[in-house]
Chain A
Amino acid sequence: MLKTFPLGGIHPPENKLTAGKAIETAGIPASVSIPLSQHIGAPAVALVKKGDTVRTGQKIAESKGFISACIHSPVSGKVNRTDSLIDTSGYRQEMIVIDTEGDEWDESIDRSPGIKREITAAPAEIIKKCHEAGIVGMGGATFPSHVKLSVPDGKKCEVLIINGVECEPWLTSDHRLMLEKGEEILVGISIMMKALNVTSAMVGIENNKTDAIDRMGTLARSFSGISVHALKVKYPQGAEKQLIKALINREVPSGRLPVDVGAVVHNVGTAFAVYEAVQKNKPLFERVVTVTGKSLARPGNFLARTGTPVSMLIEAAGGLPGDTGKIINGGPMMGKALTGTSVPVVKGTSGIIVIPAADAERSPAGPCIRCAKCVTGCPMNLEPFLLMSLSAAGHVERAGSNKIADCMECGSCSYICPARRPLLDYIRLGKGSYIKLLRERKLKN
């Protein structure tokens, strides 16, 4: 019997069209726009100004505060301007626009093709390098990785959990990375184990990626302390708390962090980025993006520089089909529709999904029939129907006491609702207001 998390969860159609497509290198765009906030936490502060010449991999923005990340130039060229442009989230933010000239890399980056397995860096040095390289959680949440690698005083990490679940339908970027860069990922895991001072690491992979499980399992034999585990396919297994429950059967209490139960979770993409940063001195400025959709001519997995316009990736995948209704940034469950294709790829862009108009339309919502499917589907043991009505009516306080802040916005409730009620839309609204209320209260006291 394969492991999984016990509570809730759904089984959306997988549609992993690009699972067999090897990672291709997307071209270097003529101009890139680099948002200063590509991570959770304080936006980075620009180090370059208009007219400056930058090299590929050069730091162009410094992290501000502990929970923040540095940003590096993905191309070599000249800084055109800084401008307030619309990003993948649909809001305007400050971006550094760079016009590309050639592709001249920073000398400190080791571009030799060989895999470097020997880890020489000390734990503190590893954390510092991750910080300097601007590494963030590559699963999509983009939480700065150096923060997660620094275990707070008085707490102990017992096991490092590596997330190779990729439970979102359509996406295959982590899957391809595990197949093609398995050894690098495992070295990256060993580096993180050293930084966290743990002796065991567990890689969780869903059972729809048997080739990746085999490959990683075989490779892991030559690494001490790393084990690979096949997991039953169920969404949202890639969520931190669900993965911990599935692998080590520990429950993270409400409002607490995984490290409180002795676990730290990182994505396989992050492990690869850590490998590149620590062993090759290469900062994070490119990532694998799955560009997929039923009507795309050539869906695939592309290694794209950050700042690449989404339109360029769609061109690489065969061009935007005429029947397109929506373009989603991220997975279909938790991703957000884009407002235009000129927006840049950022560190957290795991996929671009082009959806035909016929599939993109939302069905009209009916009345709640009290079937409680949302309750059984919720992996966090919440009551989505109740949270929705409380949020809609503006009862923020009551929504808070019903644990609205525990919602991770996985969308299982909205997916499973037979009346197609916009449960998550309202819960997200209520959660936002509740967190705002808490913050205001904190400021007052």
Chain B
Amino acid sequence: MNSTVLLTIISLGMLAAIAAVILYFVARKFRVYEDPRIDQVQEILPAANCGGCGFAGCRNFAEALVAAESFEGLNCPVGGAETMNNAAAILGKVAAAADPTVAVLKCNGAPASRPKTSRYDGPSDCRIAHSLYLGESDCSYGCLGNGDCVRACKFGAMYMDKATELPVIIDDKCVSCGACVKACPRSLIELRKRAKKDRKIYVACSNCDKGAVARRACKVACIACGKCVKVCEFDAIKIENNLAYIDAAKCTFCRKCVTECPTDAILEINFPPRKVKPEPQAEPATN
């Protein structure tokens, strides 16, 4: 009995020893060298694996950073400048300055201004609604309201507003990873330069139809009348495809275009209320 136990231990022990020796040599032979800095860089990345940098995940981005000659074009939107500077310090390089951005929705077609002409009762998925027909309203460019962008957001920075049936972006939580931009089948979300106090001025419309068609479908549509272009002193607004676009780099937030827009398609957000100039002759507004 004892000898059987002993024999088992000895034979198994020998097997283990042989296997260990083989494994040792195999491991030596097929060793893959990995830059230890990849681990270090990955350590300081946010580990959100959101793909906002354009890579498959944080590990993938860390590899790209280590392999890169310069940091030009590489940016972690979640970590921002701080993370990039840390990574640069580890790798002995200089982080490229990237302006922080934030997502904005280029549609303001709540049912009140964009009347519904049909009802969609298919699966709640914008891709399907988009591939099926124009949408519940007559606007073939506007938000479909099924919330693909909200589901794509990994940072809880979006929610659907029940009243307007449009997604809302929470500026504080948005890390501008771009997941919602990719999720929207109508390309309604844009990453715009983040300004002081999260102030924003942009054209909240994507309708490329001619003015009359756009206006019939939605009261707050851009009708490409060109008034904003004329009033802008900084050459920041351009009209292309029947749609105005404000260049965030040139915009100085003077807000002249906002007052000029006849359809209220240009939004001003996070501004203090305008000072109302006293108009002694004006009658009180009645509805």
8 other contacts beyond A422-B122, A429-B131, with CB at 8 A cut-off?
A90-B132, A336-B132, A340-B118, A425-B122, A425-B123, A426-B123, A426-B128, A429-B125
Complex contacts, A89 vs chain B, CB 8 Å: 133
| A362 with B131: CB separation less than 8 A | no
Complex contacts, B128 vs chain A, CB 8 Å: 422, 425-426, 428-429
| A91 with B117: CB separation less than 8 A | no
| A339 with B131: CB separation less than 8 A | no
A365 contacts the other chain (Cβ, under 8 Å)? yes
| A340 with B117: CB separation less than 8 A | yes
| Docked complex Cα distance between A90 and B140 (Å) | 10
Complex contacts, B117 vs chain A, CB 8 Å: 339-340
| B140 with A92: CB separation less than 8 A | yes
Also in contact, A86 and B131, with CB within 8 A (given A361-B121, A425-B123)? no
Also in contact, A86 and B134, with CB within 8 A (given A340-B117, A340-B118, A425-B128)? yes
Among candidates A92, A337, A361, A432, residue contacting B131 with C-beta atoms closer than 8 Å: A432
Contact sample, A vs B, 6 pairs, CB 8 Å cutoff: A86-B138, A90-B133, A340-B117, A340-B118, A429-B127, A429-B131
| B123 with A422: CB separation less than 8 A | yes
| B121 with A339: CB separation less than 8 A | no
Complex contacts, A91 vs chain B, CB 8 Å: 133-134, 140
Look across to chain A and name the residue whose beta carbon is closest to the beta carbon of B213: A84
Interface string of A327-356 (1 = CB under 8 A from B): 000000000110110000000000000000
Look across to chain A and name the residue whose beta carbon is closest to the beta carbon of B183: A394
Minimal beta-carbon separation of B142 from chain A (angstroms): 14
Complex contacts, A337 vs chain B, CB 8 Å: 118
Chain B interface residue count, CB cutoff 8 Å, equals 15
| Docked complex Cα distance between A20 and B140 (Å) | 41
Complex contacts, A426 vs chain B, CB 8 Å: 123, 125, 128
| A90 with B123: CB separation less than 8 A | no
Complex contacts, A92 vs chain B, CB 8 Å: 134, 140
Interface string of A84-111 (1 = CB under 8 A from B): 1010011110000000000000000000
| Docked complex Cα distance between A339 and B140 (Å) | 13
Also in contact, A90 and B134, with CB within 8 A (given A340-B117, A426-B128, A429-B128)? yes
| Docked complex Cα distance between A81 and B169 (Å) | 43
- B190-217 contacts to A (CB < 8 Å): 213
Closest 8 CB pairs of A and B: A90-B133, A339-B118, A422-B123, A425-B128, A425-B123, A362-B121, A429-B128, A425-B122
Look across to chain A and name the residue whose beta carbon is closest to the beta carbon of B121: A362
- A258-308 contacts to B (CB < 8 Å): none
Minimal beta-carbon separation of A341 from chain B (angstroms): 11
Minimal beta-carbon separation of A184 from chain B (angstroms): 36
Interface string of B115-150 (1 = CB under 8 A from A): 001100111010110011110001010000000000
| Docked complex Cα distance between A422 and B118 (Å) | 20
Interface string of B64-105 (1 = CB under 8 A from A): 000000000000000000000000000000000000000000
Most buried by A among B123, B131, B138: B123
Complex contacts, A422 vs chain B, CB 8 Å: 122-123, 128
| A428 with B133: CB separation less than 8 A | no
| A339 with B123: CB separation less than 8 A | no
| Docked complex Cα distance between A86 and B128 (Å) | 19
Complex contacts, A428 vs chain B, CB 8 Å: 128, 131
Complex contacts, A340 vs chain B, CB 8 Å: 117-118
- A1-44 contacts to B (CB < 8 Å): none
| Docked complex Cα distance between A215 and B287 (Å) | 70
- A383-441 contacts to B (CB < 8 Å): 392, 422, 425-426, 428-429, 432
Complex contacts, B127 vs chain A, CB 8 Å: 429
Minimal beta-carbon separation of B241 from chain A (angstroms): 15
Complex contacts, B122 vs chain A, CB 8 Å: 362, 422, 425
| Docked complex Cα distance between A422 and B122 (Å) | 8
Look across to chain A and name the residue whose beta carbon is closest to the beta carbon of B140: A92
Minimal beta-carbon separation of B210 from chain A (angstroms): 9
| Docked complex Cα distance between A339 and B213 (Å) | 17
| Docked complex Cα distance between A337 and B122 (Å) | 11
Minimal beta-carbon separation of B119 from chain A (angstroms): 9
Complex contacts, B132 vs chain A, CB 8 Å: 90, 336
Complex contacts, B123 vs chain A, CB 8 Å: 365, 422, 425-426
Most buried by B among A92, A339, A362: A339
Complex contacts, A361 vs chain B, CB 8 Å: 121
| Docked complex Cα distance between A89 and B132 (Å) | 8
Look across to chain A and name the residue whose beta carbon is closest to the beta carbon of B127: A429
Look across to chain B and name the residue whose beta carbon is closest to the beta carbon of A432: B131
| Docked complex Cα distance between A425 and B121 (Å) | 11
| Docked complex Cα distance between A359 and B121 (Å) | 13
Minimal beta-carbon separation of A114 from chain B (angstroms): 45
Complex contacts, B138 vs chain A, CB 8 Å: 86
| Docked complex Cα distance between A98 and B127 (Å) | 36
| Docked complex Cα distance between A431 and B150 (Å) | 25
Complex contacts, B134 vs chain A, CB 8 Å: 86, 90-92, 339
Interface string of A71-92 (1 = CB under 8 A from B): 0000000000000101001111
Complex contacts, B125 vs chain A, CB 8 Å: 392, 425-426, 429
| Docked complex Cα distance between A395 and B213 (Å) | 37
| Docked complex Cα distance between A389 and B111 (Å) | 32
Look across to chain B and name the residue whose beta carbon is closest to the beta carbon of A84: B213
Complex contacts, B131 vs chain A, CB 8 Å: 428-429, 432
| Docked complex Cα distance between A365 and B125 (Å) | 13
Minimal beta-carbon separation of B112 from chain A (angstroms): 20
| Docked complex Cα distance between A85 and B138 (Å) | 11
| Docked complex Cα distance between A331 and B140 (Å) | 26
| Docked complex Cα distance between A336 and B134 (Å) | 13
| Docked complex Cα distance between A387 and B118 (Å) | 29
| Docked complex Cα distance between A38 and B34 (Å) | 61
Complex contacts, B140 vs chain A, CB 8 Å: 91-92
Minimal beta-carbon separation of B116 from chain A (angstroms): 10
| Docked complex Cα distance between A229 and B269 (Å) | 71
| Docked complex Cα distance between A337 and B120 (Å) | 10
| Docked complex Cα distance between A285 and B121 (Å) | 34
Minimal beta-carbon separation of B213 from chain A (angstroms): 8
Complex contacts, B118 vs chain A, CB 8 Å: 337, 339-340
Minimal beta-carbon separation of A397 from chain B (angstroms): 16
- B146-161 contacts to A (CB < 8 Å): none
| Docked complex Cα distance between A84 and B123 (Å) | 28
Minimal beta-carbon separation of A408 from chain B (angstroms): 17
Look across to chain A and name the residue whose beta carbon is closest to the beta carbon of B132: A90
